[in-house]
């Protein structure tokens, strides 16, 4: 399972806060950090966790509340969608 966090802020402090929280929660260094038009996408892959644990981690990490709500209430839509068709830059 992967854990994705969408930060709609360009402030480095917000990015570092999520990274620090990820370390506190035992996730370690993320596999990928992407700079987007509005902020950052942070992705941890290969985690041995359930969907419910994934949702709890995303809440603790400060993921976008609307994305979490959609993943909890809309089982027919893809889980943890990050739009990659937008112009993004990996960092």
Give the DSSP letter string of the chain: --EEEEE----HHHHHHHHHHHHHTT--S-SEEEE-SSSEEEEE-S----HHHHHHHHHHHT--HHHHHHHHH-TTSPTT----SS--EE-
pLDDT digits (tens, 9 = 90+) for 37-74: 889 999 999 999 998 999 999 999 999 888 888 888 87
Q: Where are the domains of the chain?
A: 3-73
pLDDT digits (tens, 9 = 90+) for 8-40: 899 999 999 999 999 999 999 999 999 988 899
């Amino acid at each position: 399972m992967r854990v994705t966090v969408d930060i709609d802020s360009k402030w480095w402090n917000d990015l570092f806060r999520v990274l620090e929280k990820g370390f506190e929660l035992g996730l370690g260094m993320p596999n990928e950090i992407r700079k987007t038009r509005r902020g950052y996408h942070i992705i941890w892959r290969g985690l041995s966790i359930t969907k419910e644990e994934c949702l709890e981690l995303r809440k603790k990490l400060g993921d976008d509340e609307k994305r979490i709500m959609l993943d909890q209430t809309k089982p027919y839509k893809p889980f943890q969608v990050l739009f990659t068709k937008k112009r993004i830059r990996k960092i």
